[in-house]
Amino acid sequence: MSAIRVRFAPSPTGSLHLGGLRTALYNYLLSRSQLAQGNGKFILRIEDTDQSRLVPGATHQLIRDLEWAGLPFDEGPGKPSSVGPFVQSQRLELYRKYAHQLVAQGHAYKCYCSPRKPSSTSATTPNSTGYDGTCRDLSQKQLDLHAGQPFVIRFRSPRSGLNTFYDHTFKHISVDQSTLDDIVLLKSDGWPTYHLASVVDDHLMGISHVMRGHEWLPSTPKHILLYQAFGWNPPEWVHLPLLLNKERKKLSKREGDKGLGAYVSRFRDEGYHPEALLNFIGLLGWTANRNKEVLTVKEMQDQFGLERLHVSPAVVDLDRLDWLQKSHFSALAAASDPALVRELKERLMEAYPEAIPSALLSDAYLRDVLKLISTRLHRTADITHKSPYFWLDPDFSSPTSDAAQLAASIPNLPQVAQTTLDLWTQPDNWPANAAQVNEALPRIAEQVGMSKNVTMLALRCMVTGTRVGAGLADTVLLLGREAVERRIRKHVWSASERE
């Protein structure tokens, strides 16, 4: 078998979405699969021939998204090879050369019709453009009359016969060639259409498998005809099933909670781990060969095979993503994953610039926080915003703050503060482990005449400013005596000021 060379070929018309990321992932997995035998190549090609839809900076963002996801490409922009360049706008002369070659060989023709010219047969012809073939068989004399006029180059599609091919997902497919358009290959401005550019590039770049979205399946017979006209062997075809939302409608790029859309940047900004996201989309259209749902990228690439791709559309259920995120996050936190620690530190520095002491940003402290909090929170963004008490004292200064309102709802808070300090600040009496913290709670509760649960809530309120959180005893130990005593004393002082 020849070397596996696959490509991810997005258009820089906006941010990368889940469907695009899945296409990139499957191409990457195939290039790293056992089928590739260590010789596969994953290529990034930027298809920017539709200049009217380009978004400035989109190519840079696409590359950034792939890097964040952990899908490095072997050849592409910034990674040159003998088959580059990898940006289609830098390959225009190639496309013009091959388009005119087809004209010279009789497989294509120049069309001088106005783009707005109505077709006299558009109501009866089966093809999607309705082009009536006015220029398909012009005589040389007629061509001479049009000399100097703008033209497009159209492919001369056969008027009869069956176009039969094999797709790894949808198997054997046959199309009546009389239904195919005389598609435009080269526009009047000299720019190619997708059909010409993709076929030329896939051949010249040695692409072995074209793996792309289901929406391109109807174009495949046209592309096969182009390969035949050029005398080239076509690649193997792999078309991926649609992604649907919960209403079983095609997933829009704008789908998602809070209108944030199904863009990769949304999930990155919300703190999802890239491997959890890849695990999620990897199972949207493919089944692993073992009875396991939580998979690393390495596990997916070791198991990946085209024979287990799904035909049916896949429903995007973000609840399942949250479940996978929890599993991946807990495992990474338990393993003190350096990348996870680094991500948490970056989010903290962005959220609270210059407010956090350097000691509380140390890798050792952050690892301890992650291990403690990962049973409750599973995204670094949530930890940053829902558990700031690991780095900052709770703010009780504003009566409308959540912490102040919680404190106001708890009876005898100053007494709990004083009683706790009286007990824990005795010589050698500060708790050294979780058991000692838990043993102190009934004693404090008895002295202030409150239940153990309310006493625990009072202590949690003073230390964290929240009603719920990580285990109270473990939180007290991790914060340390200086921080805990300082936070509790604020409530003793506030009681004195009210007298």
Helix (H, G, I), strand (E, B) or coil at 141: helix
Residues 6+ apart with CB under 8 A from 280: 320, 321, 324
Number of alpha carbons in the 13 Å side-chain half-sphere of residue 246: 7
Per annotation, catalytic residue among 253, 326, 371, 386: 253
Do the beta carbons of residue 151 and residue 188 sit within 8 Å? yes
Element spanning 483, H or E: helix 481-498
- Tokens describing residue 48: 């920017």
- Give catalytic status of residue 110 as yes or no: no
Q: Which residue has the tokens 């990474």?
A: 332
DSSP string over 251-266: PPTT-SGGG--SBHHH
Q: What angle do CA 122, 128, 129 make, to 5 degrees?
A: 60
Buried b (16+ CB within 10 A) or exposed e, 52-86: eebeeebbebbbebbeebebebebbbeeeeebbeb
- Tokens describing residue 447: 């002295």
What's phi and psi for 314, nearest 5 deg?
Answer: -110, 140
Per-residue CA distances from 109 to 100, 151, 308 (Å)? 9, 10, 42
Do the beta carbons of residue 221 and residue 165 sit within 8 Å? yes
DSSP code of residue 48: -
Closest CA to 68 of 281, 329, 267, 255: 267
Number of alpha carbons in the 13 Å side-chain half-sphere of residue 403: 20
Nearest-angstrom CA–CA distance, 335 and 329: 10
- Tokens describing residue 90: 């830098």
What's phi and psi for 220, nearest 5 deg?
Answer: -60, -45
Indicate which residues carry an active-site annotation: 253
